[in-house]
Amino acid sequence: MKKIIGLLLLLAFTLSLFSFFGCFGYKSETKVEVLKTYPKEMAPAQIIKTDDKWVMLNNTYGESKYSISVGTELDSLIDVYSVDDVRIWYVDANQKAIVWCEKSDETYTYKMYDFETEEIIVISQRSIEEGFQAQNIGIYLDKVYYCLVDYERQEVSVFAYDIVLKETDVIHKCAFVEKKQPYSINLEDEYLNFVCAEQVKVLNLKENRTDFEVLLPDDVKYAYTASYDRINDTCAVYYADEDSEDIGIIKEGDVEISSHITFSENHYSYHEKVECHDGYIYWIFQANVSGYIVDNYCFADYNYLEPLPLEIERTFEFYRKGKEIYLLRFNENAGGPCVELCKY
């Protein structure tokens, strides 16, 4: 059972209402600027804003057909890649390349689109028959980062693929223990968050050092992702224990996770995405229940220092760039599931 400090008891009760009703406050819609609206045919599923480009992962609604488009202006995006009969959950990009993972019925394939050469490169591939692999992938400067389990050797490795040298190095390795999986990474700028049910470890890629490391409590059954708040030297962890799935806060030396959000049955953080920065936690709340699809998602903006929860309804994706956050949400006035790109 989770131990929640006394000052958070009232908050825990308030947030439990969120688990049942799907929202826990309202952010003024006047603060959300709609940049563009898309029809359901090949609408954006994910959005990335680099220094001078827009990158979009587009998906045919209800199908497994995807395309990736790029451009300096939203009205002039060009498709650079398309694929069918796969699932793409994770995409990242910077000035050098776009990277993503495709899951088909046969393989996990980690790919890259090089902006300079305009080539599609297969970085790594694993057979589905070998066992589960995390699809998380990220790019920082000239290197692409991903995590793989070698079931034969019983090892977990975090790899760095050098775009310029076309070489792959292992930057972190640990023994594979079945009950500690999944093993995954979350790359945020220069910070690579490595997480499993045993620990959270934050690697500073810029300084080539470990900036944060903590063992997780024994009652953590699964740890899906972690995000490092550099300003407060704290990690947010999305995890599951015997009772529920939660998002909580932990510092180095802590023996317990301070649970801030508890999800009820059939409620999740969509795509297991959680980000923690400057005292705020961001995620997409998903209710996997019956009903109109636009009502089953919302963007959560949670100040864990106050604490103060706010939300934007109908939102299924967010991308943070500095102090700006871009959102993808369903258009409530449309006759079907049209999508709006918004700036928050």
In a domain, 88, yes or no: no
Q: Which residues contact 6 (CB under 8 A, 6 or more apart)?
A: none
Q: Is residue 249 part of a domain?
A: yes
Identify the bridge partners of residue 156 per DSSP, sorted by sequence position.
149, 174
Instruction: List the domain range (segments joined by +) for residue 277.
Output: 1-31+193-313
Instruction: Write the DSSP symbol of residue 87.
Output: B
pTM: 0.90
- Give the Cα separation of 95 and 146 in Å (integer): 18
In a domain, 166, yes or no: no
Does 294 fall in a domain?
yes
Number of domains making up the chain? 1
Residue in 228, 308, 322 with CA at minimum distance from that of residue 275: 228
The rounded distance, in Å, linking the Cα atoms of 55 and 50 is: 8
Residue 308 lies in a domain: yes
User: Helix, strand or coil for residue 264?
Assistant: coil
CA pair distance 92, 342, nearest whole angstrom: 19
Q: Evaluate whether residue 36 is within a structural domain.
A: no
Length of the chain: 344
For every one of its 344 residues, what pLDDT tens digit does the chain have, with 9 covering 90 and above?
333 333 333 334 334 434 433 454 444 444 789 999 988 777 899 999 999 999 999 997 778 899 999 999 999 999 999 999 999 999 999 999 999 999 999 999 999 999 999 999 999 999 999 999 999 999 999 999 999 999 999 999 999 999 999 999 999 999 999 999 999 999 999 999 999 999 999 999 999 999 999 999 999 999 999 999 999 999 999 999 998 999 999 999 999 999 899 998 889 999 999 999 999 999 999 987 666 677 789 999 999 998 888 999 999 999 999 889 999 998 866 555 689 999 98
Taking residue 24's Cβ as centre, other Cβ atoms within 10 Å add up to 20
Specify if 242 maps to a domain: yes
Q: What are phi and psi of 296, to 5 degrees?
A: -100, 5
In a domain, 218, yes or no: yes
Distance between CA atoms of 3 and 258, rounded to whole angstroms?
7
